[in-house]
């Protein structure tokens, strides 16, 4: 595991507000016969909370190899006998029984951007009992007008001729980017408003708008996207710094192309279009400020913030004709050797013998073959000990 992954999991475990909210919600739902599924389990913490609350069975699901550690942690806590550990993508998961409760922590900064909506949309059909519940169960999506220091570091920078050069093309991408940052409460220029309320299994595009009223003078340079998650009928959790029960989570930041001087009573109309399945966000902002002769309108979209070349565009259109390359021929050769009998070491040796000019060394061959086959050709059963390739 990388250092950043360790830090990420440490962050999850170090957030007492969030863990308390999940535990309180699970205690409301879990009964002695309850079946719980923890999607994207990681260390397994949410499944452990469900098991400790008395669930009959907990399925901890994670596509990553952390699942072995998840199981070891459950065993260390004497809870493994009621837990099942599955290394699988939630979209390919099948279970022997319907779940009464499905829980997950992939709630991002605006719910749509980390997976929960898409996972639950799929899980509703395939995994959840008819009277089952999701934790969290729904979201109110909020927008706030802010003066964010992060804007100056990530957007404004490109407009100020860094190192004496015109960086306008980078600026174009910077204003079409969704950022993650923590905006202090005193950088909010007014009260955030709700622009959409959705169930946690809402997999379709989410569109909505809100009017924000400026309450203190400042320099408006971005809109924050935040949420209030309804964990259960009596428990809420939010990443909005102006509301109670805030957990340690960034806010999403949607930049304006330039700061607008605003005063109390000025109005900002914001509309959002976010796509849970493809993680795209588009935001339109209209600022009616006393300092400006006319409304200041702007629009950003993460689909325009990507680096794009002409050939990237040709690929997206589907009209390009892909051509065979040495690397592609080597990959095709590797795949042709997968017959359910031949061991990995033999596939590596044959590929290295056939394509010495492509790979340069057996180690490089091993790395390429391993990464190609790892994702789709792993055995169904957990690993068994065998000689290394």
Q: What does 282-314 look like in DSSP terms, one character per residue?
A: EEEEEEE-TTSSS-EEEEEEGGGSS---HHHHH
Cβ proximity to another protein, 170 vs 261, nearer residue: 170
Helix H or strand E segment including 196: strand 193-199
Cβ proximity to another protein, 319 vs 371, nearer residue: 319
Return the residue matching tokens 């939010």.
Answer: 238
Contact between 117 and another protein by CB under 8 A: the answer reads: no
Cβ proximity to another protein, 274 vs 344, nearer residue: 274
CB of 319 to another protein, least distance (A): 11
Contact between 280 and another protein by CB under 8 A: the answer reads: yes
Contact between 1 and another protein by CB under 8 A: the answer reads: no
Contact code string over 175-194 relative to another protein, x by CB under 8 A: -x------------------
Q: Who's near 91: CB < 8 A, 6+ residues apart?
A: 119, 122
Q: How far is CA 278 from the centre of its chain?
A: 10
Residue from 28, 182, 273, 349 in contact with another protein (CB under 8 A): 273
Classify each residue of 1-16 as buried b or exposed e, where b means 16 or more C-beta atoms within 10 Å of its C-beta. eeeeeeeebeeeeebe
Cα 97 from Cα 59, distance rounded (Å): 10
Interacting stretch for another protein, rule CB under 8 A, among 1-9, 218-226, 237-245, 271-279? 271-279
Helix H or strand E segment including 165: none
Other C-beta atoms lying within 10 Å of the C-beta of residue 388: 5
Q: How far is CA 3 from the centre of its chain?
A: 19
- Residues of this chain, 202-231, that bind another protein according to CB under 8 A: 205
Contact between 170 and another protein by CB under 8 A: the answer reads: no
Interacting stretch for another protein, rule CB under 8 A, among 14-22, 109-117, 274-282, 343-351? 274-282
Contact between 313 and another protein by CB under 8 A: the answer reads: yes
Total residues at interface with another protein (CB under 8 A): 19
Taking every pair of C-alpha atoms in the chain, what is the biggest distance, in angstroms? 74
CB of 274 to another protein, least distance (A): 10
CB of 282 to another protein, least distance (A): 6
Site of interaction with another protein (CB under 8 A): 172, 176, 205, 271, 273, 275, 278, 280, 282, 284, 299, 301, 303-304, 308, 310, 313, 316-317
């Amino acid at each position: 595991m990388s250092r950043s992954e360790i830090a990420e999991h440490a962050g999850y475990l170090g957030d007492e507000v969030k863990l308390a909210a999940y535990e309180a919600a699970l205690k409301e739902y879990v009964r002695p016969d309850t079946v719980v599924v923890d999607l994207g389990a990681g260390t397994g913490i949410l499944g452990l909370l469900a098991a400790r609350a008395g669930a009959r069975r907990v399925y901890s699901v994670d596509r990553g190899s952390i699942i072995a550690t998840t199981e070891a942690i459950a065993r260390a806590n004497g809870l493994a006998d009621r837990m099942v550990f599955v290394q699988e993508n939630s979209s390919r998961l099948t279970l022997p029984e319907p779940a009464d409760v499905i829980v997950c922590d992939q709630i991002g900064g605006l719910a749509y951007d980390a997976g929960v909506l898409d996972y639950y949309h799929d899980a509703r059909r395939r995994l959840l009992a008819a009277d089952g519940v999701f934790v969290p169960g729904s979201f109110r999506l909020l927008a706030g007008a802010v003066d964010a220091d992060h804007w100056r570091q990530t957007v404004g920078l490109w407009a100020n001729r860094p190192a004496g050069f015109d960086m306008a093309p980078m600026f174009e991408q910077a204003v079409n980017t969704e950022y993650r940052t923590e905006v202090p409460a005193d950088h909010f220029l007014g009260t955030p408003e709700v622009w959409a309320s959705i169930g946690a299994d809402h997999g379709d595009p989410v569109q909505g708008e809100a009017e924000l009223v400026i309450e203190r003078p400042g320099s408006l340079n971005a809109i924050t996207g935040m949420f209030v998650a309804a964990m259960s009928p009596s428990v809420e959790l939010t990443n909005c710094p102006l509301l109670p029960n805030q957990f340690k989570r960034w806010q999403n930041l949607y930049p304006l192309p330039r700061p607008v001087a605003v005063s109390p009573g000025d109005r900002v109309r914001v509309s959002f279009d976010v796509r849970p399945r493809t993680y795209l966000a588009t935001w339109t902002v209209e600022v009616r400020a006393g300092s400006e002769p006319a409304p200041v309108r702007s629009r950003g979209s993460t689909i325009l913030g990507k680096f794009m070349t002409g050939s990237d565009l040709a690929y997206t259109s589907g009209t390009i004709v892909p051509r065979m390359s040495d690397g592609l021929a080597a990959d095709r050769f590797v795949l042709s050797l997968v017959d359910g009998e031949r061991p990995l070491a033999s596939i590596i040796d044959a590929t290295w013998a056939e394509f010495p000019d492509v790979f340069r060394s057996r180690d490089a061959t091993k790395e390429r073959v391993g990464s190609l086959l790892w994702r789709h050709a792993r055995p169904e059963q957990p690993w068994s000990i065998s000689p290394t390739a």
